[in-house]
Chain A
Amino acid sequence: MPGAQVPITIEQLVALNPYNPDILPDLENYVEEQVATQTYSLDANLCLLRLYQFQPARLDVRIVARMLVKALMALPATDFNLCMFLIPERLQMEEPFLTLATLAHFLETAHFREFWDEANRNRDILEVVPGFERAIQGYAIHVLSITYQRLPRSILAEAINVEGLSLDKFLEYQVNNNGWTLEKGGQLVVLPANEDNHPVLRKSSADSIPLEHVARLFPVLG
């Protein structure tokens, strides 16, 4: 087509022309963009990992590391695992992948204290990606929310790695904005009710009968 070039977004590229090795540099830049603008695209990143699979010599360890950090931030989604399925085993035995896998393991098994300790020891890998801490705290709260109706303050503190006055401020914010409440002088945190920490709220499809089934009886009932 002669003339004007229609600007095409990365997402469109990935949707229309995903098996084209020429788009590899664009996808690499897009990872950097996701880091800088605190956005995220699993599809684009998987596309890049796939192209790296096809041309292993072009694999950029730094880019893949950033991608994996972004994937950790997407928890509880299984994005980190999805990426690992596409990264060669011998690479996974090297740094920084070994550390990232350890961090992922701690998060997948809710070992939050161990996670924050290990994260502290590896700030260089993590602080290149803004928003990391906040994202993991969000994940921790998600897991706590589907498990606990009321939880001891110390458990919360350990899970989100916040203590003392910062924790007080954090709790104040949650109480004012997200429906949390406090009991026992702030030692017990009451989380909002949802389907998972109040299983009785789960919608019961037990004995409701769709109209079509009953309609079958109309000729019989006369």
Chain B
Amino acid sequence: MEQALLRINNISGQLTGKCPFKAGGGVEAGKCPFKGHGVEAGKCPYRAGQHLDQSKAWSLVNVTPTVTTNSVTPIKVLVTGAAGQIAYSLMFMIASGQMFGPYQPVILHLLDIPKMADALKGVVMELQDCSYPLLHSVVATTDVQTAFIHINVAILVGAFPRGPGMQRKDLLKVNVSIFKEQGEALNKYASRGVKVLVVGNPANTNALTALVKASDLPPSNFSALTRLDQNRAQSMISEKVGVNVDSVRNVIIWGNHSQTQVPDVNHGYILNYPNRGLIEPIQTSVNDDKWLNEQFIPLVQNRGATVIAARKLSSAASAANAIVGHVRDWLLGTKDGEHVSMAVYSDGSYNVPKGLIFSFPVTCRNGEWSIVQGLKINSSTQQKIDATTKELQEEKETAMSFLN
């Protein structure tokens, strides 16, 4: 692990308490592992907040074709739950350039619990053995502080899994304590422009918890993953209509990444259907309102369980692919005319009260998302939106009660 730590090249600034890069943690007089800063014996002259990395993640990403990426500043990406299955698919996708494109080098920060340290070492070996030109370096650690330093993107996959007999309330409670710590770490150590994607469930409420504890950071930089549900919904439509999945566009997922999620095809369309050069609304192409109203939504909601039943393992690769899509579209922007689903900080749009992490259709530009406005919502969809809102409000209340 130590060898991986030494590969950090562009650190500036220090942190309160112990310097994580000095053996023993204390700071020696006159010596500072970071160039250019004098140090008094025992004292760290930099308080949290000073000398923190100010870069904005989106503006860091280099999309200009370049012969050598040696002079491109690497982007720092944290993946938690790094010894787990989703991370095993995800980190190789990131290292290969799928998330930020072929001209942007990456520094991976990998965090997991001490019990998983050996497995994490094994994954680092594999990352090295992949010989990825875009992988600048890897920091693999079980220490939260080390993991969160100056990161530009945080993908919080790790969470406490639901055990047998565990009630939803118990699950919320244990995850609140994890995401409280991670929100605080983001606040203290991450780049000020860090973009956060929470995957670990209950994703929406975990994201909200982190957001609340990261009071210096803009709420708009916190999101939760509903892209997998969107991709699954598109997949179900493509199977029903008999087209390539890639032809199905602008399917929306509203609300909570849970059983109350609302897959909505009323604003979506199918490309090159029924013939090349044409575009047709999904509802028309499907031509089966009964199926849309009765079977489609449960199909999407149950897709995860269906994959597990078939594979005997969870849908790690498709989750990783959705994560890559979510972050890539957020930072590199969505295409004209297209929107994607992200669970983001609600602002009152579509009758959803402010202050929830709620999945909306968004467009992305210059590293910022905007909720697509003005979509007509029929009464049946609005009812479902209200139900998922209610669930999120209850989760929020429970979570906040645990925080206090």
User: Is chain B found bound to chain A in the same assembly?
Assistant: no
Q: Which residues of B contact A (CB under 8 A)?
A: none
